[in-house]
Amino acid sequence: MHFHQLAELYAELEKTSSGNKMREILSEFFKTVPAEDIAVISYLTLGQLASDNDDVVMGMADKSVLKAIAIAGAVDQSKVSKLMQELGDAGLVAEKVLQKKPQTLIPLEKLTVKELFETLHKMAGSIGTGSQDSKQNLLATMLQKSSPQGAKYITRIALGTLRMGVGDMTVLDALSIAFTGNKESKEILEKAYNICPDVGIIAETLAKHGIKAIEKIDIHVGTPIKMMLAQRVDELHEISDKIPGEFTVEAKYDGERVQAHKNKKGKITLFSRRLENITAQFPDLVEWLGKYFHADEFVLEGEVIAVDKNGHPLPFQTLMQRKRKTEIEEYTKKVPVQLKVFDLLYLNGKSFLHQPYCQRSAQLEKLLKKNEFIVPTEKINTENIDELEDFFHKMLKAGYEGVIVKSRAEDSEYQAGSRGWNWIKWKKEYVTEMVDTFDLVVIGAYHGKGKRSGTYGALLCAAYNEKEDTFETLCKLGTGLTDELLEELPKKLAKHKVERRPARVNVKKEMEPEVWFEPRIVVEVMGAELTNSPIHTCASGLALRFPRFIRFREDKKAEQATTSTEIERMSKK
């Protein structure tokens, strides 16, 4: 497919602010895409160069992009810099500069989507000395080969600022309509996506082999599985209603969830809760998993925590020092960790997703050689709530944040990507403050006044409506933001700024922010109570009163925020 066709799609998408219309446009377009291009087009439309977990980073400096535009348009660099100051978007600069492209530079051949994609990967793969120059020259060639409109989008893709407002779910919806003629198949696609959350693989499988092949999609070792999450209850005794019979009570550790994959070749890859590849951060975990977990091929899960010399847990903030791209070796020594393993999802060619929890964890422990670095979770099996409570207090004393109660029943399968009742969390905050926090998505901001002028005074925060794939506002957040944080905010949010309301965002006129953001950044917020409110859109009108910022949840994607359904359920209680 020629790239100019894709650029025309983007121009059309850019004009719409309705999520439904967006799906319609996309599905009509997908019908025209050759099967061999559909994966690439899915990634590009999401503004990505590959699936999130593939760790392909363009790493192109703004300066190099502007230089590439100057080369492509055969104009002086100072002119490009001036235009950048005026327009504030390198995409628009490229479009403008290339409108005046001299005749001699008009391309003889047309740019295809495949060629563009391969070149973008070549650019991403270019590292070390001279890499900025080489990226810049490759980009200039792509810009020369495209129309001015195409150049606008190529520039944005290179900078990671395409922001079409399209999310993975939008693509799945559109694929479902395009290839099966109805929206109903979306459930099948979603189920497959939970096990293999790579839109490109799903799109290509569907286009090439149809919906039957999607039903058969299984674990791809090396592609993360969407993680199962825990529900919450208000009263401890409710747990017996939700999980009748015997359950396992495990310590809830305040660390980072890790999903470890080992393929047949022995390669070990680690994924975070956001399904990002975090292997490079934990060379120690990789080594131990190879040494102490006896299986040729596996997918297992655990929580990595920072520990002191005696193996006692250290705060989450200590572990966060391991989130880095440099000085890895130094910090591996400085911040020792331990992996508390609890689940086995795949073993030697066989998926364990549909096995009951007791069998999955028993098999996991059987294969684990005794050592002090990778250890099973502390746990008890019981059906007694008093015993559960005793264990909970014991875990708090040991320095953990609570417990997770897990069903051991026949149907206690691993519910990839969902927050089901097979796991229920009980945390210390529930007992001490009787509140839990909300993880909300920043979708807009209001300019600050007085002391806060020059930064944002408040952020507009939204919950995720997982049924509609939209973001619904719940509160305006201004409290709890320290001076330091306020200073950092404009820079942190700049990358996600968009001109208009993103299509999947649902906001009442009264709450319209002064600045819009693509839903990307998640913040943890504490609030006093949920009340009815006609000015918010969450669950048809709920607001969080007296919201207070607690921290950024870098480990969560927008679609992993607290859902409108959960908030509605909490408000009813």
Binding residues for ligand ATP, rule: CB under 6 A, are 227, 229-230, 250-253, 257, 273, 303, 342, 377, 404, 425
The residue (of 468 and 555) whose beta carbon lies closer to ligand ATP is 555
Residue 293 forms beta bridges with which residues? 368
> How far is the C-alpha of 542 from the C-alpha of 472, rounded, in Å?
10
The residue (of 360 and 425) whose beta carbon lies closer to ligand ATP is 425
In the complex, what is the shortest distance from the CB of residue 492 to ligand ATP, in angstroms, rounded to a whole number? 21
DSSP 228: P
CA atoms within 13 A on the CB side of 116: 31
Please, are residues 183 and 175 in contact by the beta-carbon 8 Å criterion? no
Cα distances (Å, whole numbers) of residue 462 to 128, 443, 523, 563, 566 = 40, 7, 10, 9, 13
Q: Rounded to the nearest 5 degrees, what angle is found at the Cα of 90, between the Cα atoms of 88 and 95?
A: 110
- The candidate with the shortest Cα–Cα distance to 475, out of 487, 458, 488, 489, is 458
In the complex, what is the shortest distance from the CB of residue 255 to ligand ATP, in angstroms, rounded to a whole number? 7
3-state DSSP call for residue 267? coil
In the complex, what is the shortest distance from the CB of residue 560 to ligand ATP, in angstroms, rounded to a whole number? 7
In the complex, what is the shortest distance from the CB of residue 378 to ligand ATP, in angstroms, rounded to a whole number? 9
The residue (of 313 and 513) whose beta carbon lies closer to ligand ATP is 313
Residue 302, burial from CB neighbour count under 10 angstroms (0-12, 13-18, 19+): buried
Length of the chain: 573
The residue (of 204 and 250) whose beta carbon lies closer to ligand ATP is 250
* Two tokens, residue 276: 């990002």
In the complex, what is the shortest distance from the CB of residue 19 to ligand ATP, in angstroms, rounded to a whole number? 25
The residue (of 289 and 507) whose beta carbon lies closer to ligand ATP is 289
The residue (of 173 and 439) whose beta carbon lies closer to ligand ATP is 439
DSSP 397: H
In the complex, what is the shortest distance from the CB of residue 394 to ligand ATP, in angstroms, rounded to a whole number? 14
Please, are residues 260 and 37 in contact by the beta-carbon 8 Å criterion? no
> How far is the C-alpha of 374 from the C-alpha of 314, rounded, in Å?
16
Radius of gyration of the chain (CA): 25
Number of helices (H), then strands (E), in the chain: 22, 21
The residue (of 149 and 564) whose beta carbon lies closer to ligand ATP is 564
> How far is the C-alpha of 154 from the C-alpha of 120, rounded, in Å?
9
Which amino acid is residue 253, in one-letter code? Y
Q: Where are the beta strands (DSSP E) in 486-566?
A: 497-498, 505-506, 515-517, 522-526, 529-532, 542-545, 548-552
The residue (of 252 and 496) whose beta carbon lies closer to ligand ATP is 252
In the complex, what is the shortest distance from the CB of residue 279 to ligand ATP, in angstroms, rounded to a whole number? 18
Catalytic residue among 226, 252, 262, 406: 252
> How far is the C-alpha of 180 from the C-alpha of 182, rounded, in Å?
6
The residue (of 257 and 548) whose beta carbon lies closer to ligand ATP is 257
Catalytic annotation on 267?
A: no
CA atoms within 13 A on the CB side of 388: 25
In the complex, what is the shortest distance from the CB of residue 343 to ligand ATP, in angstroms, rounded to a whole number? 7
In the complex, what is the shortest distance from the CB of residue 344 to ligand ATP, in angstroms, rounded to a whole number? 13
Residue 515 forms beta bridges with which residues? 445
3-state DSSP call for residue 146? coil
The residues assigned a catalytic role are 252
